[in-house]
Amino acid sequence: MKVEFFNNINDISKDQWQAFEKPSCPLMQYEFFKALEDSQSITVDKGWQAHHLAISSEEKTLAILPLYIKQHSWGEYVFDWDWAQAYERNNLDYYPKLVSTIPVTPVPSEKLLSNELDYCEVMSVLIEYCQQNQINSWHLLFVPEIKPTNSTKLPDDVYLRHTVQFHWFNREYENFDHFLASFTARKRKNTLKERRSISQQNIIIEHFIGNEITKKQLDYFYLTYQLTYLKKGHQPHLTYTFFEQIFQTLPDNILLVIASRDDDYVACSLFFFDQQHLYGRYWGCSEKVKNLHFELCYYQGIEFCIKRNLKVFNPGTQGEHKIQRGFEAVLTYSYHWIKNVNFKEPIKNYCRQEREQLKRYQAQCLSALPFKKEP
């Protein structure tokens, strides 16, 4: 078995990437990762050194895992700053670390591309690689739950972490009114009031799929994307060229929703979708309009899912305000390995306590949903 690491996505061919069952999530497709690197959105200077893993036999590629060597923890959304600070207090280096994720994109999805190897087998490869090199830890972020089998099991010093996200589930709703019929009367009234306020403010909303998106619309989207970050005092992660490239290479997986008033754009939101899922990713506005964020980021996405019979809508991280709009708390799964033996037990206990706390938090969130109680 041959193990290789590639420092550029272009060193892996699209045919290699797609030699396995094509990833259902559009954010895991070759075109998405290629656009990240080609557009200079993800670079060594920004702390993301591509180090993609390929495992092969003499006959074929057996597995591919997107990987990055990192010198910081920005853009991951499974926060380990406390761990890094503990290392620093002990005059130890926490970085560099090896991270498998979709950069700056906290979407739960299959990260390992393989028909023959499982995560536990690949973990052994990563542990050996870190032990033999100056890599202090590895992290698999937002992957499916890894369940032991008769032939493989999770290594003892690999620790599970959860985060909580809020997802919407399509329970065979015929339309938005059918979905709202599952709400209590008070919650249903509040939602209808929010939606009516949009038309009362003379807002018109339109959907555009992939190739329908014009340069004018792309320019407006990127302007508001930048404004969203700048308002928070941050620089945008992704370049204009990144979006320009994926609009061309993933046209069948992109939805742009634009709100306008008097023929002027006022806000927009960008989504990715496949046959089962909708992923809400980016939002921005050039004019503040009451309730428009809820409409563009949540209600329009729900309507799109119902119309297309999509099963799950992941609108992005955080946001307890999503609960009253019918988004349910779900646990995500990430797995972590630390080289330093003195930190293994403290981090193991940290992860255990965190899991217990987040399970209680999930239960509290589920109890606050707006749905009618079953008799």
SS3 264: strand
Predicted structure pTM score? 0.95
Nearest to 274 by CA among 105, 28, 14: 28
Per-residue pLDDT tens digits for 34-51: 999 999 999 999 999 999
> Which 3-state string (H, E, C) describes 190-227?
HHHHHHHHHHHCCCEEEEEEHHHCCHHHHHHHHHHHHH
Least confident of 18-32, 134-148, 215-229: 18-32
**pLDDT tens-digit series, residues 7-22:** 999 999 999 998 887 6
* Alpha-carbon distances, residue 147 vs 118, 162, 333, 362 (angstroms): 10, 15, 11, 21
pLDDT of residue 20: 83
Average pLDDT over residues 240-269: 97
Mean pLDDT of 120-133: 96
Residue 375 has pLDDT above 60, yes or no: no
Question: What's the whole-number mean pLDDT along residues 153-181?
Answer: 96
Angstrom distance (rounded) from CA 314 to CA 331 = 12
Do the Cβ atoms of 161 and 331 come closer than 8 Å? no
Burial of residue 45 (CB within 10 Å: 0-12, 13-18, 19+) is exposed
Give, to the nearest 10 degrees, the angle between helix 81-89 and helix 341-367.
150
| pLDDT tier for residue 156 given thresholds of 50, 70 and 90 | confident
pLDDT in tens, 304-320: 999 999 999 999 988 89
Question: What's the rounded Cα separation, in Å, for the pair 365 and 328?
Answer: 7
352 φ/ψ angles, rounded to the nearest 5 degrees: -65, -50
What integer pLDDT is reported at residue 291 of this predicted model?
97
Q: How confident is the model over 360-374, as a mean pLDDT? A: 94
What amino acid occupies position 214? T
Residues 211-221 pLDDT 10s:
999 999 999 99
| Alpha-carbon distance values, 124 to 156, 275, 335, 344 (Å) | 11, 33, 13, 17
Tell me phi and psi for residue 264, to 5 degrees: -110, 135
Domain boundaries along the sequence of the chain: 2-162+333-339, 166-329
pLDDT of residue 19: 84
The residue to which tokens 């590629």 are assigned? 61
Q: Which CATH superfamily is domain 166-329 in?
A: Gcn5-related N-acetyltransferase (GNAT) (3.40.630.30)
pLDDT at 155 > cutoff 90 = no
Share of the chain above pLDDT 90, in %: 90
Domain covering 2-162+333-339: architecture: 3-Layer(aba) Sandwich (3.40)
- Reported as a pLDDT band with limits 50, 70 and 90, residue 149 is confident
Amino acid at 224: T
Mean pLDDT of 282-302: 97
Task: Tell which residue, 140, 161, 157, 136, has the closest CA to residue 86.
Answer: 136
pLDDT of 23: 67
Q: pLDDT at residue 374 above 90?
A: no
- Distance in angstroms (rounded) separating the CA atoms of residues 339 and 127: 8
What stretches of the chain adopt beta strand conformation (E)? 2-6, 48-50, 52-56, 61-65, 68-70, 97-100, 113-114, 137-143, 158-161, 164-169, 204-209, 254-261, 264-273, 277-285, 312-314, 328-331, 333-338
193-221: b (≥16 Cβ within 10 Å) or e: ebbebbeeeebebeebebeebeeebeebb
d(CA 11, CA 51): 11
Instruction: Please tell me the predicted confidence (pLDDT) of residue 24.
Output: 76
Asked if the model's pLDDT at residue 232 lies above 90, the reply is no
Average pLDDT (258-273) is 97
Location of structure tokens 């023959």: 116
Confidence of residue 207 (pLDDT cuts 50, 70, 90): very high
**Where is average pLDDT lowest: 1-10, 142-151, 158-167, 208-217?**
142-151
Comparing CA positions, the residue from 162, 210, 135 lying closest to residue 355 is: 162
Are domains 2-162+333-339 and 166-329 of this chain identical in fold? yes
Q: Round to whole Å and give the CA distance between 282 and 37.
A: 19
